Amino acid sequence: MTHVTSLRCKECSREYPVGAFNVCEFCFGPLEVRYDLDAIKAAVSRESIAAGPNSLWRYAEFLPADHNPDVDINAGFTPLIRSKGLADKLGLEELWIKNDSVNPSYSFKDRVVAVASAKALELGFDTLACASTGNLACAVAAHAARGNMKAYVFIPSDLEAGKVLGAAIYGPTMIAIDGTYDDVNRLCSELADTYPWAFVNINIRPFYADGSKTLGFEVAEQLGWRAPAHVVAPSASGAMFTKIYQGFNEFAYTGLIGKVETKMHCVQARGCSPIATAYEEGRLIIRPVRANTIAKSLGIGNPADGYYALKVIEASGGSAVIAEEHEVAEGIKLLAEADGIFTEGAGGVAVAGLRRLVARGTIKPDEPTVLYITGNGLKTTEVVADVVHPIHIEATVAAFQDAIGARA
């Protein structure tokens, strides 16, 4: 059972009944879901959660939609792995990797869409939609397929075919749009006003966003009911980053973990770093940019939650870091070689950010740290194509020995 009380404007605090809208009519501020946290506190315990399903629905009491098996593809409850190789390389004693690249459609976006799709059905929608260049489209198409819903996925027309295969395979209606990025953006806002569809990151964004709270819940549970000293996570819109922190704090409020002293560190790539740049300049005002980064899944130039991400950094005593473009592929390779996890560009950015935070002395060797790896490397193979250089030989032992050397 959900414990939602209302939608509330993050800026002027006006309250709205639960429904498919995301903007305050009065000040155009974003709406967020409000919960009766005391009722949640009374309803949950570590034991009740531990007895729940092995998916993000074990935290259903904290979510804005009820679990609906009809649209569930088992998002969440991904591994938290204690790093060995990367920890040793960086001299960290307790580094954990949240491997969210192994979600059903291979990114953390399955969490937000799991919640959004369940809510969409509850609100009476039969169609899911989004505008996306990658991970979100995959998650929307996959959930719609499972839920027997229609899916409309809008993409910019100049995308490489390979990038959208992971969405097309589920059979959505895919619409390629000619025009600039701004044109696509504007069209989608008009369509969201006109068509009776659940645009997951537009009209049902408040519910959608809360799916990412489970990234905080899970890590706290998997660490043995505690929040880490540091979180390092990649950001685009900034939504996931703020929701991880909200997740820790809701767990603390409901008595599942102790006081949260986690420092939240947000990482962006040089080619699209509006949040990190504002942080470096010491302001809470974001200057939107045109995204131009190899970490394409972080390419949001006008981040809807950028301001709130900056507030989380401030409140938690964290920071923001910029990864240089060349560090993205290096980070991907480093994580693969050091700990056996193959991530995409966003993960490469996170690894690079972690390195910088350790080098700066912001993260001390003995402080428990969680690195969020949010997407899968098989979706962005172009970025690291240069690792492939096999030793070509004839199928003879002699040829092998020539190439490798004889057995000792």
Partner 1 sequence: MQRVRLTFLDRLIKEPVVYQLGKKFDIVTNIRRADIQEGIGWVILELEGDDAEIDRGLEWARTVGVRVDPALGDLVEP
Ligand X SMILES: Cc1ncc(COP(=O)(O)O)c(C=O)c1O
Binding residues for ligand X, rule: CB under 6 A, are 107, 109, 135, 234-241, 297-298, 300, 346, 374-375
Token readout for 197 is 């569809």
Nearer to partner 1, 45 or 180 (CB): 180
Rule CB under 8 A: choose which of 173, 189, 381, 401 binds partner 1: 189
Question: How many residues interact with partner 1 (rule CB under 8 A)?
Answer: 47
Q: Smallest gap, in angstroms, from Cβ of residue 165 to ligand X?
A: 16
Number of Cβ atoms within 10 Å of the Cβ of 136:
23
Tell me if 277 contacts partner 1 by CB under 8 A. Answer: no
Q: Is 166 in the site for partner 1 (CB under 8 A)?
A: no
The partner in contact with residue 287, picked from Zn ion, partner 1, ligand X, none with C-beta cut-offs of 5 to 8 angstroms by kind, is partner 1
Taking CB under 8 A as the binding criterion, the range among 141-149, 176-184, 257-265, 309-317 that sits at the site for partner 1 is 176-184
Cβ distance to ligand X smaller for residue 153 or 240: 240
How would you label 332-351 residue by residue, b for 16+ Cβ within 10 Å and e otherwise? bbbbbebbebbbbbbbbbbb
Q: Which does residue 360 bind out of partner 1, ligand X, Zn ion, none, counting CB within 5 to 8 angstroms by kind?
A: none
Q: Which of 264, 259, 250, 257 is nearest to 220 (CA)?
A: 257
Selected from 55, 105, 132, 319, the binder of partner 1 by CB under 8 A is 132
Of the candidates 331, 314, 319, the one whose C-alpha atom is nearest the C-alpha of residue 232 is: 319
Q: Is 153 helix (H, G, I), strand (E, B) or coil?
A: strand
Residue 140: is it exposed, middle or buried by C-beta count within 10 angstroms (0-12/13-18/19+)?
A: buried
Q: What 3-state DSSP class applies to 265?
A: strand
Q: Which is nearer to partner 1, 114 or 202 (CB)?
A: 202
E strand intervals along 247-286:
263-269
Q: Nearest CA to 234 among 147, 277, 157, 297?
A: 297
Q: Which of residues 10-49 bind Zn ion (CB under 5 A)?
A: 11-12, 14, 24, 26-27, 29
Q: Give the footprint of partner 1 on residues 282-321 (CB under 8 A).
A: 283-288, 296-306
The site for Zn ion, by CB under 5 A, has a size of: 8
234 interacts with, out of partner 1, ligand X, Zn ion, none, CB within 5 to 8 A per kind: ligand X
Dihedrals φ, ψ of 111, to 5°? -65, -50
User: CA-CA distances (angstroms) from residue 337 to 334, 341, 387?
Assistant: 5, 8, 11
Residue 26 binds partner 1, judged by CB under 8 A: yes
Query: What whole-number distance in Å separates Cα of residue 7 and Cα of residue 204?
Result: 11
* 104 interface partner picked from ligand X, Zn ion, partner 1, none, CB below 5 to 8 A per type: none
Q: Which of 18, 33, 71, 130 binds partner 1 (CB under 8 A)?
A: 130
Per-residue binding string, Zn ion, 157-196, x by CB under 5 A, is ----------------------------------------
CA distance 249 to 257: 9
Determine the Cα–Cα distance for residues 210 and 378; give it in Å rounded to an integer. 27
List of residues contacting partner 1 (CB under 8 A):
11, 22-23, 26-30, 130-136, 154, 156, 181-182, 184-186, 188-189, 192, 199, 201-202, 236-237, 283-288, 296-306
